Amino acid sequence: MTNADLPGRYAQTHAAAARDPEAFWLDAATALTWDRAPTRAFDPDQGPYGRWFPDGSLNACHNAVDRHADGSRRDQAAIVYDSPVTGTKRTITYGALRDEVATLAGILAELGVGRGDRVVLYMPMMPEALFGMLACARLGAVHSVVFGGFAANELAKRIEDAEPKVVLAASCGLEPNRVVAYKPLLDAAIAASSHKPTACLILQRPQGKAALDPARDRDWAEAVADAKGRGVTAACASMAATDPLYVLYTSGTTGKPKGVVRDTGGYLTALAWSMPNLYGVAPGETYFCASDIGWVVGHCYIVYAPLLHGCTSVLYEGKPVGTPDAGAFWRVVSEHKVVCLFTAPTALRAIKKEDPEGALTAEYDLSAFRTLFLAGERADPDSVAWAERVLDRPVIDHWWQTETGWPIAGNPVGLGLLPVKHGSTCVPMPGYDVRVLDEGGKEVPPGTMGTIAIRLPLPPGCLPTLWGSDERMRQSYLATFPGYYDTSDAGIIDEDGYITVLGRTDDIINVAGHRLSTGGMEAVLSSHPDVAECAVIGIRDTLKGEVPCGFVVLKARVARDPAVIEKELVAKVREEIGPVAAFKLALTVPRLPKTRSGKILRATMKRIADDEPWTMPATIDDATALEEIGESLKGRGIGGA
């Protein structure tokens, strides 16, 4: 079977985008409302590899909110907030959303926020977080959302880099059994950063109120009430399509976060195309993305894409299990008549673990539900098959990255469902010319593993650069294979054009869909006074996909109990990176296995930990080091020796 033999409209659509990308993307852009419609789709002379819609102008908030509020969708639900952790449900229409966002934008403007200024958001899953993102977009300010699970020093790095004029934060976040105080973390981050925001707007939650600094902090609710009393609002600013909409930080291999820039026109165009064509969702239908706004998936498919398309977006503050049980998602799907659910394989595995027979699906009316999409990490075939059986619906694994901003590959439901191959993320979306290359940059035959790369230019929606550094963009993504974007993922493309992603080629590991740098964790471990050197690898985990494992060599003459030091190291990573790292295992070893040139053999260590076949590298300096790693892992019930 060749690409042309695939059923539905996919083959023709992908071919049209490849044959005449200018015409294809200018046509796709007509789904948006432009202040100045673009006459050119792409300028190859701007930025590290080019820029999309260089002569167009528009506003993201107008397209996501105002045009619906001013039209027939004014009284349709834009956001359904469903929070089992607080027992709260709230429906916000497009008209009400526009009013809330315009007021908050007016408050930010009075705080000095304008076009191009940055605003950092450090908030949980609640409507005000979406108001904040959209209010920034309304003003032409650049928002940067930081996941609430990150520790103070990680937040400080982002404040240092983005230099926000204002920070929007909540007093706390809520887990099923605990309250996480955000404000002390924010205070510590600002104290640690050389950049100081001029103001912080703090949303006080009744579950955990925070002390405010009168010189810097303002109470969110009081500010909104005051602004509404005075009739304060702000209009939508007309922005160039190439202007940044947001900066989202992702793990860097050096431990320093990379600020992925998202432009306005190309991003909105790609998202608007994806909703009907990839996800098969129509305006007015309800879409449930069970992610978090701290991640790229939440930016794209909780906030911008559903609202652009005139859908109702579910904002869920809860867990797949434990709030109250493994039927939580099915309850939301049933209650809000969700047609499409997008979640991570980790969530699916957690549900499967708690309800292996899928019995809880029978308790809910899932008649409106059509499709389950999975992304964030590789979906294991067993879990996909389980979900297909218990749901009797298509289960679609698709692949993309923080950098790309929308899926690279997937099964385009709206163009006609293609045959499913378990373990594969199906076919490239329009605009993506995906190849598998060997170490020398030569394309490999079908079915051969190599590095997955995308031929330049990247399509609309993908990062045009990194915040403040075109050169870092080039070095990070474009230098390894000239003419290509290096995904740093390894995989294969089969004879049918289906892509299978097998794992990372750098030191980024995927923990429950969260990309985390082992280099950053190594920096934390090596700062412990008793540690001489260390290495962190990701090892396979049935629930989270991967979890980090740290190996440390203690300094000579350290007489302390290694078990005590290991506990200190786990606590240190938790404190400095955050619980999101899921770092729970540190092992002291006599030495680290290295090549004669001093390179640590992390890949071989990982194969041992994952109980995969491995051979003794010919370049190893000391063979006993690998044997010691195996014995250390075996002592903890991991891998094989």
Q: Which helix (H) or strand (E) holds 143?
A: strand 142-145
Rg (CA), the chain: 24
Do residues 47 and 465 touch, judged by C-beta distance below 8 A?
yes
- In the chain, helix, strand, coil percent, each to 5? 35, 25, 40
Q: What is the pLDDT of residues 369-395, one digit of tens each?
A: 999 999 987 788 888 999 999 999 999
The answer, yes or no, to whether residue 530 has pLDDT greater than 90, is yes
Structure tokens at 520: 């950053």
Contact yes or no for 529/537 (Cβ under 8 A): no
The domain ranges of the chain are 1-59+265-275+425-502, 96-237, 508-635
- Using an 8 Å Cβ cutoff, are 552 and 534 in contact? yes
Q: What pTM did the predictor assign?
A: 0.87
Burial tier of 533 (Cβ tally within 10 Å: 0-12, 13-18, 19+): middle
Contacts of 133 (CB under 8 A, 6+ apart): 121, 143, 145, 246, 293, 299, 303
- What's the whole-number mean pLDDT along residues 499-504? 85
Report whether pLDDT(2) > 70: no
Is the pLDDT at 513 greater than 80? The verdict is no
Q: Under CATH, what is the fold of the domain 96-237?
A: Rossmann fold (3.40.50)
Q: For position 537, what pLDDT does the model report? A: 93
Give all strands (DSSP E) within 464-604, no chain letters: 484-493, 499-504, 508-511, 514-517, 531-541, 545-554, 586-588
pLDDT over 50 (residue 102): yes
36 and 240 Cβ atoms separated by less than 8 Å? no
pLDDT digits (tens, 9 = 90+) for 468-484: 999 999 999 999 999 99
Tens-digit pLDDT profile for residues 298-313: 999 999 999 999 999 9
Is the pLDDT reported for residue 641 higher than 50? no
Query: Taking residues 321-337, what's their average pLDDT?
Result: 97
> Does the pLDDT of residue 297 top 60, yes or no?
yes
Nearest-10 Cα torsion for 92, 97, 103, 105: 130
pLDDT value, residue 253 = 53
Q: Which two tokens stand for residue 136?
A: 């920034």
Q: Provide the CATH topology of domain 1-59+265-275+425-502.
A: Luciferase; domain 3 (2.30.38)
pLDDT in tens, 456-470: 999 999 999 999 999
Residues, the chain = 641
Using CA atoms, how far apart are residues 406 and 250, in angstroms rounded to an integer? Answer: 15
Segment 54-67, tens digit of pLDDT: 999 999 999 999 99
What does the pLDDT average to over 18-27?
98
pLDDT confidence of residue 322: 93
Pairing of the two strands 312-316 and 77-83: parallel
Torsion sign (Cα): 195, 201, 206, 210: positive
For the segment 338-377, what is each residue's pLDDT rounded down to a tens digit?
A: 999 999 988 998 899 899 999 999 999 999 999 999 998 7
The arithmetic mean of pLDDT across residues 130-157, rounded, is 93
pLDDT at 4: 60
pLDDT of 620 strictly over 80: no
Q: Is 623 exposed, middle or buried (0-12, 13-18, 19+ CB in 10 A)?
A: exposed
| The one-letter amino acid at 318 | G
Share of the chain above pLDDT 90, in %: 77
* 508-635 is a CATH 1.10.10.10 domain: no
CA distance 324 to 343: 18
d(CA 322, CA 177): 10
β 450-455/484-493 pair status: antiparallel
Position 51 scores a pLDDT of 98
